């Protein structure tokens, strides 16, 4: 069996020149220091018993705001080309608008400057789910003025950081915001209303388009967005219509408007009993279709479906027909091996997702902006978490991504999710995705074997 270093070396030889290797995090999942900002819908959601499995709230998370220097050192040690983080909207404006929050602005200055000093490209996401509560109270992503508010937020960020942030993502995974937050009650704000789920998806896209215009007017470089896309597998060969509609609800509902094709007709038809889509306007669709410089894909698992088998598939986060309103009744049938999220590990589906996306959004360079896995992390060697499952996962998925490149996909980089163990939303601290272990009691950071592996890949290129 090859050593980790030998495996890292072999993988590194496939990495093309200029291909970006990085790690990713998001604000609410790591920052802590909630008193230094305003409240978000995730704070409200976390305050209700039962919403987050282990009762985790925003503090201290990874206490990243107070441990920024340590975390910057960690990134420098890893040697990443880029670091993907998100701005917390309520840390920029405590109430989402109006007076800027000086300490919040200063924090992101220190983060961005600290990255640049270490030669690491800051890859910023404007919105990774922590909507200011003030807007949540007014209807959140189904409140029409949210599009204008997002434009104002883009203006504030661009004014301050456009000269130093290397790449801009408007949104992270609008499917999750809309389908887990509005169509169902799994995520904040927990609306549980499928019709609002579709309206939220549309308004998120519209806000994206508005932000693209604002960022461009400030000469912000590399403007794009991030979707969680995947391959839908018709496992029993009897679920082709289910495959088509779930593909539409997961992938095409975002890619088609971005490519200027509007909302897919089959999805309008499949959801006719839920919404009449009357909130969609031509002006909105025009803004949504503004050209972007790149698209980020967050990929973890395929969606493998079959006709109902009535057998128990156990725990799978985010895979059931409730999160796909309008889909026919199918069953999700992930195969082994699976991660702790219940998600099937199937690197080939990353290749197909990239190939399909490149066809659906031609001419737009792609990045893997998140990829990784939650594993038990219970094997320790010399005080280090020996997370060989995660090493295997990352190695096989980087290879699968490079296979897509070999098939002609313009793939420019890969970001591992996540730099460190953090709050996995409704799963709280129970699921660990970090390549660096974080002790929730002491906040001590300890690189896992996967961190050493990624570091070795980067160093050996």
Give me the residues that bind ligand IFM (CB under 6 A), please.
26, 29, 173, 298, 370, 417, 424, 433
Based on the residue annotation, tell me whether 370 is a catalytic residue of this protein.
yes
Contact 374, 341 (CB under 8 A): yes
| DSSP state at residue 445 | E
Can you read off the two tokens belonging to residue 134?
């003030």
Q: Is 344 a catalytic residue?
A: no
**What is the CA 361 to chain-centroid distance, rounded?**
19
* Token duo for residue 323: 């999160």
CA distance 124 to 155: 14
Give the shortest CB-181-to-ligand IFM separation in angstroms: 12
Plot region of 98 (φ>0 → left; ψ -120 to 50 → alpha; else → beta) = left
Distance separating alpha carbons of residues 323 and 337, to the nearest angstrom? 23
Single out the catalytic residue among 370, 395, 424, 427: 370
Q: Is the Cβ of residue 214 or residue 324 nearer to ligand IFM in the bound state? A: 324
CB of 127 vs ligand IFM, minimal distance in Å: 12
Q: Are 297 and 227 in contact (CB under 8 A)?
A: yes
Contacts of residue 156, defined as CB under 8 A and 6 or more positions apart, other chains included, come to 92, 93, 100
CA distances from 291 to 95, 106, 210, 211, 409 (A): 31, 31, 12, 12, 18
CB of 432 to ligand IFM, least distance (A): 11
CA distances for 452 relative to 16, 388, 406, 457, 458, angstroms: 20, 11, 27, 9, 10
Q: What minimum distance in Å lies between the beta carbon of 417 and ligand IFM? A: 6
Residue 118 CB, shortest distance to ligand IFM, in Å, is 24
Annotated catalytic sites, by residue? Answer: 173, 370
């Amino acid at each position: 069996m090859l050593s980790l270093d030998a495996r890292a070396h072999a993988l590194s030889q496939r990495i093309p020149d200029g291909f970006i290797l990085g790690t990713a995090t998001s604000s609410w999942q790591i920052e802590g220091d909630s008193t230094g900002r305003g409240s978000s819908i995730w704070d409200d959601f976390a305050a209700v018993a039962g919403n987050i499995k282990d009762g985790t709230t925003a503090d201290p998370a990874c206490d990243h705001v107070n441990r920024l220097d340590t975390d910057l050192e960690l990134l420098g040690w890893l040697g990443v080309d880029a670091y993907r983080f998100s701005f917390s909207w309520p840390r920029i404006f405590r109430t989402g608008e109006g007076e800027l929050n000086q300490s919040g602005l200063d924090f992101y200055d220190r983060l961005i400057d600290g990255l640049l000093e270490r030669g690491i490209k800051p890859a910023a996401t404007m919105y990774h789910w922590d909507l200011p509560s003030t807007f949540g109270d007014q209807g959140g992503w189904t409140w029409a003025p949210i599009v204008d508010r997002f434009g104002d937020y883009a203006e504030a960020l661009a004014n301050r950081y456009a000269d130093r942030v290397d790449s801009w993502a408007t949104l992270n995974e609008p499917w999750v915001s809309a389908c887990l937050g509005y169509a169902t009650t799994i995520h904040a704000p927990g609306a549980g209303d499928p019709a609002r789920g579709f309206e939220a998806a549309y308004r998120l896209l519209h806000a994206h388009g508005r932000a693209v215009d604002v960022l461009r007017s400030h000469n912000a470089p590399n403007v794009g967005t991030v979707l969680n896309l995947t391959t839908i597998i018709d496992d029993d060969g009897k679920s082709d219509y289910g495959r088509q509609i779930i593909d539409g609800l997961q992938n095409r509902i975002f890619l088609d408007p971005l490519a200027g094709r509007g909302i897919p007709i089959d999805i309008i038809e499949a959801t006719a009993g839920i919404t009449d889509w009357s909130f969609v306007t031509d002006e909105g669709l025009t803004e949504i279709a503004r050209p972007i410089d790149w698209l980020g894909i967050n990929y973890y698992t395929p969606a493998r479906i079959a006709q109902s088998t009535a057998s128990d598939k156990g725990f799978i986060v985010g895979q059931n027909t409730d999160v796909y309103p309008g889909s026919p009744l199918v069953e999700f049938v992930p195969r082994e091996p699976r991660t702790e999220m219940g998600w099937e590990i199937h690197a080939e589906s990353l290749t197909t997702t990239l190939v399909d996306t490149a066809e659906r959004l031609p001419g737009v360079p792609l990045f893997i902006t998140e990829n990784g896995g939650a594993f038990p992390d219970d094997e320790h060697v010399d005080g280090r978490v020996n997370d060989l499952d995660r090493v295997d996962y990352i190695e096989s998925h980087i290879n699968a991504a490079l296979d897509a490149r070999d098939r002609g996909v313009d793939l420019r980089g890969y970001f591992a999710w996540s730099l460190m163990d953090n709050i996995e939303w409704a799963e709280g601290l129970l699921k660990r995705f970090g390549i660096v272990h974080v002790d929730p009691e002491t906040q001590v950071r300890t690189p896992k074997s996967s961190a050493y592996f990624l570091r070795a890949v980067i160093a050996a290129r």
